[in-house]
Structure 1
Amino acid sequence: MKVLNKRQISLVNCLAQENGWLSTAQAAKFLGISVSTLRRDVDAINDFFADKDNSILCKPGLGMKLDAHRRVSLPVASPDEHVANILKSKRLVGITTDLLTHSPTPLSISFLSEKYFISRSSIVEDLNKIDKWLGSFSLLMIKNHTGTHVEGNDYDIRMALKEIITHSVLCNYQMTDSRIDRFSRVQLIKEFGRENVANCINLIVFIEDELACAISEPYYTNLFSHLLVTIRRMEKGHHIANDRVQTHDNKEWQVALKAIIWLEKRYTFCFPEIEISYIYQYLISSGKHPAQANLPDIGFQDKEAISYAISLTSDLSQSLKYDLISDKALLNSLVMHIKPMLNRLTYRIIIHNPLLDEIKKEFAEVFTAVRNATMKINNYCKHDPPSENEVAYLTVYIQAAIEKVKENKKIILVCSSGVGTSQLLYSRITKAFPDWEIIDIVPGNRLKKTLSEKKCDLIISTIRIEEMMIPVVYVSALFSAKDIIRVTETLFIERNPQEK
């Protein structure tokens, strides 16, 4: 089964939003890869689309363009369900962990067969399944006379190992106050050793003390799994090349430096400088609960996050018909979340949302709108599109804001006549908008007097009345689904006069 990796999916999404040709140089720069790697990605994508009547066209002097005769539908981040099931099999997880941990040292089929007590032919079948999963991390499985090993850069190998830890152990069990429950700790100790697990837990305590904040989930799990993988790769002698590292003059960089010094006091090997940069990336990509009760004010340094939040709320206000633009509390909360989110996208740091499936089901409309909005925004910036897990976190902020908009509306109903009709309308409105308060039901000739005595946010009427300063929406006495939409749109337009 053919699977595209995250970079290739990002390329398709980028081309899908282009109206014309995109130069090869621009595409390569967007993805942060060489032109030769880009060409290999295009070949892989065209192979994936071979039976779907879609392809990427390439022409000298013009560049490339997506030729889509059918609707292009790609998962933003995940391989197909069959491949993802690898993470649900203990044996497959064990074999994959062995291959990644020892990479690039080859392991023989005989060794794996004896270790997992299954036949050589079963090991071969397992390796074929694992090969497909590794492809989503831009990793290759190499099989030759010396054995089987994983080929790819150390960063991608680490990302694959982190995914295994997160899915196979930490994400499947409820976290306790220690943030790693007893069962997960036992499993981790079995695979990585008691000392390594304890050191990672204690190091994060040290980091939190230095930052004067608590690292919240799922960022704690992310940092923990990164540290565990780093120690394991260093123990196996697989060091990342010590490339030139850009230093930073801020608290997070100093804490990352202290964290490496802390590790070096407990292990016999020296960590390369690049490891400081990696821990720094996780720190600035994490959500933190500050020791102070008040959230810091958003400032000039957050201008990219502010721009993203404004674009997001503007688009969602249009698509969902709610005024999210003027909600300052929402904007501040989004900026605080989006700032580390953009860092995660920059550094390819993946987070998982344990409530993803429930959020997609319960808040389907908002989730879809947020996903579409982020795709539009990412067409004009350097980042990859957010994964569904990231979209789910944003969805919760938006859903909460929408529910707040629905609350505490004071309504006056205007009906022509008939107690039965007015009571039916009252019943249906309170059912559709349970948080609204209907403060009075009046005939048209008593409306002005009632308004002089009571304040309301909206007038809902079954009859024509003279023009009012307060928004008015006309409905039928049966208050149908169309009437509900009309009420919602009226509130939105009153908050956004330019939409009239």
Structure 2
Amino acid sequence: MNMGKFTARQRQILMFLLGRKNGVTAAEIAAETSVSVRTVHRELDDMDRSLAGFGILLLRKSGTGIALRALDGGPPEEEQLAKVREELLSGKPADYSGDERKIMLLCDLLETEEPIKMFALAHSLKVTVATVSHDLDELESELNKLGLQLVRRRGYGVEIQGAEIQKRAAIVHAASNELTYSDLVGAPAIHENAGARRLLELIGKSDLLTVAECFWDMNWPWTEELSEGAYTGLLTALSVTVNRLRRGKTVTVAEFQSGAREELEQSLLNQAGDLARHLEKTFAISVTGEETAYIASLFQRAREDSPELAHLDLEVVDIIERLIDLIVERTGIPYQEDRSLRSGLLEHIRPALKRIREGARIRNPLLSAIRKDYEELFATVREAVDELAGDLQVPDEEIGFLVMHFGASAERLHQPGRNLRAILVCSSGLSSSRLLATRLAKEMPQIQVLGNASWYDAARLQEENYDLLISTIDLPLPGDRYVRLSPLLTREDRERLLSHIQQWTLQKRRPPETGEPLQKEGAMARLGTLNATLSEIHSLLQGFGLYELNNEGAGLGEIVTEALELVNGAESASGGKLIADIPAVAERLLERERLATQMIPGTALALFHTRSPYIRARALSLFRLKSPLALDSEGEAKVILLMLAPQELSKESLEVLSEISALLLNSQLVSLLESGTDAEIRNYLAAELLSFFENNG
């Protein structure tokens, strides 16, 4: 029996059913496949006879749901289901979905330098020329946004025209929308989505982890500060670069004219050169000076895409404050007391807004399960978001992620003791990991979650520093090194986790007498971290400065410059200048204001913050203006909080500064900043940061 007779939608339904041992409802399948319940039932009717040829029964029973079962008298059920899955992954669908076709068209057109005839494209996709033409219409608008032109002429064919840099950007953009972390870094597997398979080939999936090793061999301090999203984007772009160079597709001199090279930091150009030489040796390719400049530009963009000091966007601060208030009002649960919820939402909502506004495709494979397990909370969050969003259309997939944050927060209220040390790795970084952590604490209290790690950190963790590595995605590690679970921790997940603990974890754990030195090493490292964090808090508050600023008749540029000079003067009096280049730092602060207002919504407070290589040490200063300063159409700033830090910043410093920013959600602190004394502000910050230290210790 050939799986090719199933349509793309039917294959999607089968993959969903194969992943669920217990029955699911037609509504859950409909939500997963984005069709109506009626369509699901029609597709199931069409699939019945074909599945019988595999010895599989499509069981539909009221009360238990829809499930796949082996026919009586046939081979064992697990064997039959495994055969179906194998056939499903290796076969070709009778048709491709619209999304699959567009990705395959994009890959075909980017891979060739010659025009392709419409007939040839239609033949390869097994559709009509009219269908291809419609797909190209949709693809054209997306390509235009990326600076590329789709050329279609009768008798000539179809091609994508534009600079090589833009073509690479189009591949990376498609990867960020269509592929998950598991797709990129998990163990090689046949992907059920033909478009994703094609895209992975274009990226150079087989070389991606080797590229990552070359990158980490450089051992640059700034790479530790990259967010997971920025790092993954950079790694994907580097892998695309290697793959394109192998095919003879290079960046030209013209693409780095008009001052583009001069805008790059010399230190980044030097580092790009080091990596280029390493890539040349590893992959037997030639990397030109223009390619080196391009790599440097990737470094610069990745650093800019990583969060600033505070991981803070003032619009996000306002959204979070109002969202939490609305859900507290509707549920009566004191979510406003949960510091972890606020920090998690700060991390999540800014990139979520970016995805929604750009119209990026958003996937949440847990959506149906979240709806089922958190039905009431899902409805509550949806109502609150709809009230806040205005004309912005927020899809259910994003609501599902928010529900995970609030669900984890609700369950965090009762956390018992534990004794097995675990590290969590999750694709969303925060929402799924926090939900999984609280589920584990509630249902398996013997497990102590030490913290979260990104997928690329997980591969470099020292095994002696943890007992369990738990991931919600595939990792580039042997199967015995980690266990993959759902963030919802289903019954099957608990069984899988217990089996992993028995089979691998307990076997690997050393007896207490041999493990004691390693435990002591871990304890010493932890003490070092705690000491660094406490020292950072004490030092930052000791250096806190409160200034009265006479700004009558002065513009924002003059005010910012004077503020920086006051801070520099105070530092000079204590032994050295804080800022090496005041105009450069002032311009960076002003640029941030030009991009978006720095006003805290509903207050007279503005937060100006930045990191720069021209700043010697971190500093926190408050300036009260003699004359209110209009920064946006909704209010005037009477107080400016200035937060400065060097480009290279320790993890402890970043966490403390981020926590101070999160505290700006608290109206009591804002009130103190607007009118409190120096001592009152210091004492309030000291109390809150001490609480932060104790909770994270």
Scaled by the length of structure 1, the TM-score of the pair is: 0.44
TM-score between both structures, scaled by the size of structure 2: 0.33
